């Protein structure tokens, strides 16, 4: 998908939406609400209708329109012309920045301080009896490192696919600030395979959600900072265990970031689904393993289904791998600020589809999906990154 790059031209250069409705089949927001005015088709129709209108009317519509999208990018794949609503709305948000974009900028830029502080503070907050406030506290509690899934998949045999190779981990915001044990697990996995894992390079946010929020200047600053950090480490293989981060990082190659000859290809070399490395390990299931494990496919960066293939191989009949083309966790980046009730509605539909019972677990390979699903999962259902279940 191109939508992580946000490198589409101005609106007039895009093909016009013919309102065929193909996007309705895959849009999670439409599936969860049944409201066609929230669909990609409706957003393109409104955007096209704004042409030539008075500036004050245009801005009002743009701000309202831009805040009602999950930025999942499924519409782009379904559209005969490849039209992408996240790209359209990124341009609208950049031209008409709202308070949500400014708050999201602060939330991401100050993540090192804000995220662990707010996650800790939320553990001591009472229920307020106000749905929106209670849900916000639930989201913050889900960011905390406890309770976490206890490992139940033991590494029993190692391949040597990493011998003679240097690797640099890109942890992403969640693993850097509130789920550091994911990075530890990824490092152990790679070292067991023979990789020389280099020290933390001090990466910033991948910039994916910043682009979705229309914060293109900030996004570019972080992209350049990450590129320079990689160069400073000697241009090793760059690896990411977060599907959305990987999607965002891969989009760098299509941006004008001052690439030197051959650099973009070198950048992309290691940015493959992290399960490509885990499949070189032989695993044994411990007695503490849950009877049933559900796998959630991220909207971004799922690749060719390698995470699912790895889990199916390691877990066998224990794994429940059901999905739909319009299923999404509902995280949506800055949508959490502009329309949290829609985010929650999509998340609840997702949880209801899996139908996990007490003692069961939901695993995924995306940091944002973990936090979102953990916040909405029923009591007694564990949610985590699949790295969490590995016992080293």
User: Which domain-ending residue is among 68, 96, 124?
Assistant: 96
Of 34, 63, 96, the position where a domain reaches its end is 96
Query: Both 288 and 210 in a single domain?
Result: yes
Q: Is 2 among the domain residues?
A: no
Secondary structure element (H or E) that encloses residue 155, with its range: strand 153-158
Q: Is 295 helix (H, G, I), strand (E, B) or coil?
A: strand
Residues contacting 183, CB < 8 A, separation 6+: 169, 171, 175, 176
Per DSSP, 388 falls in state G
293's tokens: 């494990």
What mean pLDDT value characterizes the chain? 90
314 and 248, same domain (yes or no): yes
Contacts of 335 (CB under 8 A, 6+ apart): 67, 68, 69, 70, 71, 342, 343
Whose tokens are 């570019």? That residue is 220
d(C-alpha 85, C-alpha 191), whole Å: 41
- How much of the chain is helix, strand and coil, in % rounded to 5? 50, 10, 40
Same domain flag for 67 and 113: no
Is there a single domain that holds both residue 115 and residue 70? no
Asked if residue 184 and residue 37 are part of one domain, the reply reads: no
Are residues 84 and 109 both part of a single domain? no
Residue pair 178/242 in contact by the 8 Å Cβ criterion? no
| Separation of alpha carbons 162 and 169, rounded Å | 14
Average confidence (pLDDT) over 334-363: 94
Q: In terms of pLDDT, which residue wins out, 335 or 125?
A: 335
pLDDT per residue as tens digits for the range 377-391: 999 999 999 999 999
Residue 237 pairs with which residues in a beta bridge?
167
Nearest to residue 32, comparing CAs of 337, 327, 294? Answer: 327
The parent domain of residue 142 ranges over 97-392
Is 117 among the domain residues? yes
pLDDT of amino acid 6:
45
Statement: residue 79 has pLDDT above 80: yes
Sequence-distant (≥ 6) Cβ neighbours of residue 155 within 8 angstroms: 189, 192, 281, 282, 283, 390, 391, 392
Question: Within 13 Å and on the Cβ side, how many CA atoms surround 110?
Answer: 10
Instruction: Round to whole Å and give the CA distance between 339 and 29.
Output: 11
Instruction: Express each pLDDT in 3-34 by its tens digit.
Output: 564 444 444 467 899 999 999 999 999 999 99
Q: What's 238's DSSP letter?
A: E
Final residue in a domain of this structure, among 32, 66, 96:
96
Residue 1 lies in a domain: no
Cα separation, 312 vs 317, whole angstroms: 8
Residue 6 in any domain: the answer is no
48 CB contacts (<8 Å, ≥6 apart)? 16, 17
Q: Is residue 164 part of a domain?
A: yes
- Main-chain phi, psi angles of 156, to 5 degrees: -115, -10
Specify whether 249 is located in the same domain as 164: yes
Residues 205 and 101 reside in one and the same domain: yes
Residue 232, in any domain of the structure: yes
Looking at the domain assignment, is residue 4 inside a domain? no
Residue 137 scores a pLDDT above 90: no
* Per-residue confidence (pLDDT) for residue 64, from 0 to 100: 73
Peptide linkage before 147 cis (omega within 30 of 0): yes
Residue 237: inside a domain:
yes
Q: Give the predicted TM-score (pTM) of the model.
A: 0.91
Statement to judge: residues 77 and 216 lie in one domain: no
| Same structural domain, 108 and 83 | no
List helix spans (H) across the chain: 28-33, 40-49, 55-66, 74-78, 85-95, 99-109, 111-122, 131-143, 172-177, 180-192, 208-212, 216-232, 243-250, 263-268, 275-278, 306-315, 335-338, 340-354, 367-376
- With 60 as the cut, is the pLDDT of residue 57 above it? no
- d(CA 265, CA 269) in angstroms, rounded, equals 6
Do 209 and 107 have their domain in common? yes
Total domain count, the chain: 2
290 and 361 share a domain? yes
Token pair of 174 as six digits: 């969640």
The CA distance from 137 to 126, in Å, is 9
Q: What is the per-residue pLDDT across 276-298, written as a single tens digit (0 to 9) for each?
A: 999 999 999 999 999 999 999 99
Strands 281-285 vs 237-239: parallel, antiparallel or unpaired:
unpaired
Bridge partners, residue 282, by sequence:
157
CATH assignment of the domain containing 59: 1.10.1060.10
Residues 327, 348: Cα–Cα separation, whole Å: 11
């Amino acid at each position: 998908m191109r939508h992580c790059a946000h490198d589409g031209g101005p609106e007039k250069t895009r093909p016009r939406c013919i309102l065929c409705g193909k996007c309705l089949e895959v849009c999670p927001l439409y599936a969860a609400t049944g409201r066609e005015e929230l669909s990609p088709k409706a957003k393109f129709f409104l955007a096209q209708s704004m042409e030539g209108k008075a500036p004050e009317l245009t801005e009002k519509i743009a701000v309202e329109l831009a805040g009602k999208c999950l930025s999942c990018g499924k519409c782009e794949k379904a559209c005969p012309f490849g039209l992408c609503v996240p790209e359209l709305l990124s341009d609208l948000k950049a031209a008409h920045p709202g308070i949500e974009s400014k708050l999201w900028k602060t939330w991401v830029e100050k993540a090192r301080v804000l995220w662990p502080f707010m996650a800790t503070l939320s553990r001591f907050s009472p229920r307020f009896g106000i749905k929106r406030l209670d849900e916000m506290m639930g989201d913050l509690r889900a960011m905390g490192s406890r309770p976490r899934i206890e490992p139940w998949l033991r590494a029993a045999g190692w391949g040597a696919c990493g011998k003679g190779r240097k690797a640099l981990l890109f942890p992403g915001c969640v693993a850097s600030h509130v789920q550091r044990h994911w990075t530890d697990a990824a490092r152990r996995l790679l070292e067991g395979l023979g990789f020389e894992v280099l020290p933390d390079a001090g990466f910033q946010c991948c910039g994916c959600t910043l682009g979705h929020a229309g914060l293109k200047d900030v996004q570019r600053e972080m992209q350049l900072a990450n590129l320079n950090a990689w160069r400073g480490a000697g241009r090793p293989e760059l690896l990411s265990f977060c599907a959305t981060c990987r999607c965002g990082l891969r989009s760098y190659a299509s941006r004008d970031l001052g690439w030197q000859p051959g650099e973009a290809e070198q950048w992309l070399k290691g940015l493959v689904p992290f399960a490509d490395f885990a499949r070189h390990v032989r695993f044994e299931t411990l007695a503490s393993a849950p009877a049933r494990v559900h796998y959630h496919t991220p909207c971004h960066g799922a690749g060719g289904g390698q995470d699912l293939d790895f889990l199916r191989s390691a877990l066998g009949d224990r794994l429940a791998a059901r999905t739909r083309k319009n299923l999404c966790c509902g995280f949506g980046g800055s949508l959490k600020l502009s329309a949290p009730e829609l985010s929650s509605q999509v998340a609840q539909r997702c949880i209801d589809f899996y139908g996990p019972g007490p003692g069961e677990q939901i695993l995924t390979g995306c940091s944002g999906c973990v936090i979102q699903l953990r916040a909405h999962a029923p009591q007694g259902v564990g949610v985590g990154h699949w790295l969490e279940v590995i016992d080293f």
